[in-house]
Structure 1
């Protein structure tokens, strides 16, 4: 349906899905849940799964937008008297910038085709 750019679209979707989920649950759980899904999607599209797995690793580690996604965020949130909106205001743009840079680097250095 998406033609030859479907691999890159899938890469971005997998990254941002991992990044959103890691804001709600731990990064380890996100990696465990998304890894078999990404491998299955890559195989069904005839793509190399390794770039998608790197996207999951990076996306699951990019917890900037909430204080509950990562332990360090929670510690800083409590001791620094930050508000939840402080994390959203700074973290969402940071997630987007890091996500786009990561996806571009993965697409540049790791071919999606087998």
Structure 2
């Protein structure tokens, strides 16, 4: 399933289409800020996607898109790949995004809104921290 999903996204041109669309959305952002906005956008999309699918599926779907978007801007893809890894591992907003959340959902007596109430502020905090710290550890260097 994983390899076939990645293959379909890459070979059909979907990754390039979505990656180019993400970059085109940045046309009104000053050029020197486009990389950080793209990082925030990729993290946000991966964060939303991981709430309704597994973290592995999210990473597999988002990686070709991030590669295409970073290539369009001529940037090293590593910061964007790390953003996907962090976002895909941060499933806190719903009980269906991660198996442990689902296992404690019933026995713990939690409601769906409990996950949103606690998980949304946590996810937003992690999003902001990732967008600040990832470029410090893996800078946006242009590709040779």
TM above 0.5, yes or no, is yes
Cα RMSD, aligned residues only: 0.8
Normalising by the residue count of structure 2, what TM-score does the alignment of the two structures yield? 0.77
Match of residue 131 from structure 2: 103
Match of residue 113 from structure 1: 141
User: 44, 57, 70: which one pairs with 1:16?
Assistant: 44
Is 1:52 the counterpart of 2:80 in the alignment? yes
Larger Rg: 2
Question: How far does residue 110 in structure 1 lie from its aligned partner after superposition?
Answer: 1.2
Normalising by the residue count of structure 1, what TM-score does the alignment of the two structures yield? 0.97
Question: How far does residue 113 in structure 1 lie from its aligned partner after superposition?
Answer: 2.0
| Deviant stretches of 4+, over 3 Å | none
1-side partners of 2:88 and 2:137: how far apart?
Answer: 20
Question: How far does residue 73 in structure 1 lie from its aligned partner after superposition?
Answer: 0.3
Is 1:61 the counterpart of 2:89 in the alignment? yes
Is 1:91 the counterpart of 2:119 in the alignment? yes
Equivalent pairs, count: 114
User: 31, 36, 44: which one pairs with 2:59?
Assistant: 31
Structure 2 residue ranges without an equivalent (≥5): 1-26
Structure 1 residue ranges without an equivalent (≥5): none
